[in-house]
Amino acid sequence: MSTLVTFLAVIAALIIFAIGIYNSLINLRNRVKNAFAQIDVQLTRRHDLIPNLVEAVKGYMKHERETLEAVINARNSAVSSLDKAKIDPSNAAAMQELGKSEGALGAALGRLFALSEAYPDLKANQNMIQFQEELTSTENKVAFSRQAFNDAVLTYNNKAENFPNNFIAGMFGFELASFLEIETPEMREVPEVSFT
């Protein structure tokens, strides 16, 4: 009789332990989703600013239609990628696509701002200055949100991969989440240093 009670107590303890692991995985997965929601807010703000920026620039940069169209196309691609990533923030392919499209958008905006330097009236335009400041502020918020998201992903993935949590994660279909890495060509370039 006492072995039966001991056996049942061990089984109950294992079940309670498994429930604790399951609940902590759910909590961490929800933190990943919440952290992505913060990225979504900032990227949506960024995407909403771009059409206004393009409109402000159009009048000054009539001969730069190609650049303006590249910014608009990159923005549309980024919006589409964000919509796909919102469905499942732990989807690796969606995160990779979002990272690439945001990198392409950043590069297109960089070209637009570089070209705007050639137009003194545009550079001095109050709307343009305001849009640049808002985009810069939003870029900083995106960077902070992305860092928080990647931290949440790391914590979740560590919990899901550690022993014995990996058994519970595998049994209940907890897939690992993917980091959001926004690559820009400038990140890969080696800076030139000259002492002349």
Neighbours of 21 (CB within 10 A): 20
Domain ranges of the chain: 32-184
**32-88: pLDDT as tens digits:** 999 999 999 999 999 998 998 888 787 777 667 788 889 999 999 999 999 999 998
pLDDT computed for residue 184 by the predictor: 61
**9-33: pLDDT as tens digits:** 999 999 999 999 999 999 999 999 9
Assign 116 a pLDDT band (cuts: 50, 70, 90).
Answer: confident
Q: 32-184 adopts what CATH topology?
A: de novo design (two linked rop proteins) (1.20.1440)
- Based on the number of CB atoms within 10 Å of its own CB, is 87 exposed (0-12), middle (13-18) or buried (19 or more)? exposed
Q: State the chain's maximal CA–CA distance in angstroms.
A: 91
| Region for 163 from its dihedrals, namely left if φ exceeds 0, alpha if ψ lies in -120 to 50, beta otherwise | beta
Q: What is the DSSP letter of 163?
A: T
Q: What angle do CA 92, 98, 103 make, to 5 degrees?
A: 130
